[in-house]
Amino acid sequence: MNSIIDDCLLAVTNMKRIDSKLTKHLNECVERFNQADFIKDDPIQIPHQFSVLQDIEIMAFWVAMLAWGQRKTIINKSNELINLMDGAPYDFIKNHKEKDRKRFLEFKHRTFQATDTLYFLEFFQHYYQKNESLENAFAQHLSPDARTAEAALVGFHEFFFSLENAPQRTRKHVSTPARKSTCKRLNMFLRWMVRQDDKGVDFGLWTKIKAAQLLIPLDVHVDRVARHYGLIDRKQRDWKTVLELTGNLRLLDKNDPVKYDFALFGLGVLNKF
């Protein structure tokens, strides 16, 4: 299956010839938006409140899963979660008792409800009682020579919902390529955890997944700008569109194609392209 997907990606990327002016423009935009100033208005500011790996992982994942709607609201709801966990997510996750979960019954964000919150707590506690880092929950499903992180996303989804009585309704909040979703939020989370540079936005704490394997977090802003520049031909916005766009961005930088998320997203938010 992976070889078929890789062949499709190669076919797509071989079709495109990226104009040198566009390459220069997008590289300049990456430099413009991939700056520490980006953090203050973005949900990534939430995990940046912490220095312990597990605190960062827990909040980065949860924030990413809540990342739809207005960024200000996402940030406020994420801070609410931190307060509910006594300001120490990892310590709370590992040591809380069943009775401590009652305080989360009123937490909600759009369609993310108490049932979903309680399952996230259950999964995290079960996982961190046996594992040091959330990295392996993704990386264990991915071969080192895989062209993309697709298998990691598919495997993680199955793993995340492997606990007994995992709520069916919660599955919509953790996407998977198996359902042709763009997996925007999961791809964003992986970008945060995997990409390494000296700009201070992404954390770059994980090493078992390569930046070259990452896939673009495809939201409405990225989609609109990418189509404007001819980086997407596919009419739909689905998993194959993610593969197409990432393949074309790989022509600009084969080792770090997802850095262009900064350029495409930033230009889309400002509506200047």
Residue 204 lies in a domain: no
pLDDT digits (tens, 9 = 90+) for 24-71: 999 999 999 999 998 999 999 999 999 999 999 999 999 999 998 889
In this structure, are residues 62 and 47 in contact, taking their beta carbons and an 8 Å threshold? no
Same domain, 58 and 179: yes
Rounded to two decimals, the pTM is 0.92
CA distance to 16, 123, 209, 234, per residue, from 256 (Å): 18, 31, 12, 23
For residue 10, the model assigns a pLDDT of 44
For residue 272, the model assigns a pLDDT of 80
Same domain, 60 and 190: yes
pLDDT digits (tens, 9 = 90+) for 249-260: 999 999 999 999
Over 70: is that where the pLDDT of 130 sits?
yes
How does residue 8 score in pLDDT terms, banded at 50, 70 and 90?
very low
- Of the candidates 134, 162, 195, which is a domain's last residue? 195
Average pLDDT over residues 11-32: 78
How does residue 17 score in pLDDT terms, banded at 50, 70 and 90?
low
How many domains in the chain? 2
Alpha carbon distance 62, 81 (integer Å): 9
> In angstroms, how far is the first alpha carbon of the chain from the final one?
37
Same domain, 28 and 66: no
185: containing domain? 52-195
Over 60: is that where the pLDDT of 3 sits?
no
For residue 16, the model assigns a pLDDT of 53
Q: Measuring CA to CA, which residue among 149, 154, 147 is closest to residue 174?
A: 154
Beta-carbon neighbour count of residue 69 at 10 Å?
A: 11
Residue 84 lies in a domain: yes
Same domain, 146 and 185: yes
pLDDT digits (tens, 9 = 90+) for 150-189: 999 999 999 999 999 999 999 999 999 999 999 999 999 9
Same domain, 252 and 149: no
pLDDT mean across residues, the chain: 93
Same domain, 121 and 24: no
Same domain, 57 and 190: yes
Same domain, 131 and 241: no
For residue 6, the model assigns a pLDDT of 47
Residue 41 lies in a domain: no
Least confident of 13-17, 45-49, 99-103, 107-111: 13-17
Same domain, 112 and 238: no
Same domain, 150 and 221: no
How does residue 271 score in pLDDT terms, banded at 50, 70 and 90?
confident
% of the chain exceeding 90 in pLDDT: 88
Same domain, 191 and 56: yes
Same domain, 140 and 246: no
